[in-house]
Amino acid sequence: MDLKTLKTLHSIVRNGSFHQAAEELSYAQSTVTMQIQRLEADLGVRLFERGKKVSLTEAGRLFYEQSLDIVHRMERLQSNLVELQNGEAGKVRLGVTEPTASTRLPQLLMAFMNGHPKVDVALEIASTPLLVNGLRQGELDFAFCSTPESGEELYFHPLFQEKFVLLLPANHRLADLERIRLSDLEGHRLLITAENCPYRKKLERVLQDNGPLSIETMEIGSMMALRHYVASGFGIAFVPLTALEPLPEGTRIRELQDVSIDMLMGLVSRTAPLSPAAAKLYENLRQSLERI
């Protein structure tokens, strides 16, 4: 018994004729007859009364009525499998860092999901090291983050430089300067992110390479929280420009003139092929984010 045979039986019942069923299905009539004979042999019952008008036997009526749901379920399963294969359905586990998780991604992801309503996207918002570990453990399909450390068996597709600016309280002494150099930070409190944050590591390297500088630091675990602590007067901080729209009340932004602390951002994936749905979302985000 197969789906084609069940569909043939339904066509015969619908048309009341082996001949008309053959025409509807574009089969030779002998093919239709052979399919039904094989089905009757497999079931061990007679399904049709043959005569001037084809009609179902009692066993045939029972089989027909209960096979309707079977055919419907099989057709739906086939459709789901096709959608899964062409990336129109499936589950994607996406990792992303801030500020993209809160600024760029919502609009891009909504546009994608509106066009692919059967793709289920789960988001993991974390630091680059945690996302890289999730990729290695198979917990994520791909991630948007900064460059992973060397030695990882991952593929990194660079997209753009995340621009960082210095955020200061409006009444801070440095806010009066139009041009700020790294050495101007000496003697001020600098708010920094968590110890394992790649941005903090880069900032520490920049400070070390251009030191020695006497700078007090205060750790704030969240990149997105920095703006609020600066606005509250805790100190100054380097913050992604995209996270400062709108600019917090009572703050100013300045650019460093002598060094760059911008971060290269991109898509990270394992070297193994992505699932069709993940590959479709990956390509969609790649095209969108490359235009930034």
Placement of tokens 């860092």 in the chain: 97
- Per-residue pLDDT tens digits of the chain, which is 292 residues long: 788 999 999 999 999 899 999 999 999 999 999 999 999 999 999 999 877 678 999 999 999 999 999 999 998 888 888 888 888 999 999 999 999 999 999 999 999 999 999 999 999 999 999 999 999 999 999 999 999 886 668 999 999 999 999 999 999 999 999 889 999 999 999 999 988 889 999 988 888 888 778 889 999 988 999 999 999 999 999 999 999 988 999 999 999 998 889 999 999 999 889 999 999 999 999 999 988 7
**Is 3.90.180.10 the CATH classification of the domain at 164-261?**
no
pTM listed for this prediction: 0.77
**Is 3.20.10.10 the CATH classification of the domain at 3-85?**
no
So where are the chain's domains? 3-85, 89-161+264-290, 164-261
Which CATH superfamily includes the segment(s) 89-161+264-290? Periplasmic binding protein-like II (3.40.190.10)
SS (H, E, C) the chain: CCHHHHHHHHHHHHHCCHHHHHHHHCCCHHHHHHHHHHHHHHHCCCCEECCCCCEECHHHHHHHHHHHHHHHHHHHHHHHHHHHHCCCEEEEEEEECCCCCCCCHHHHHHHHHHHCCEEEEEEEECCHHHHHHHHHCCCCCEEEEECCCCCCCEEEEEEEEECEEEEEECCCHHHHCCCECHHHHCCCEEEECCCCCHHHHHHHHHHHHCCCCCCEEEECCCCCCHHHHHHCCCCEEEEEHHHHCCCCCCEEEECECCCCCCEEEEEEEECCCCCHHHHHHHHHHHHHHHCC
List the structure tokens of 171.
């009444």
Q: Which of 237, 256, 230, 254 is nearest to 190 (CA)?
A: 237
Are 89-161+264-290 and 164-261 the same fold in CATH?
yes
- Residues shown for the chain: 292
pLDDT for position 151: 63
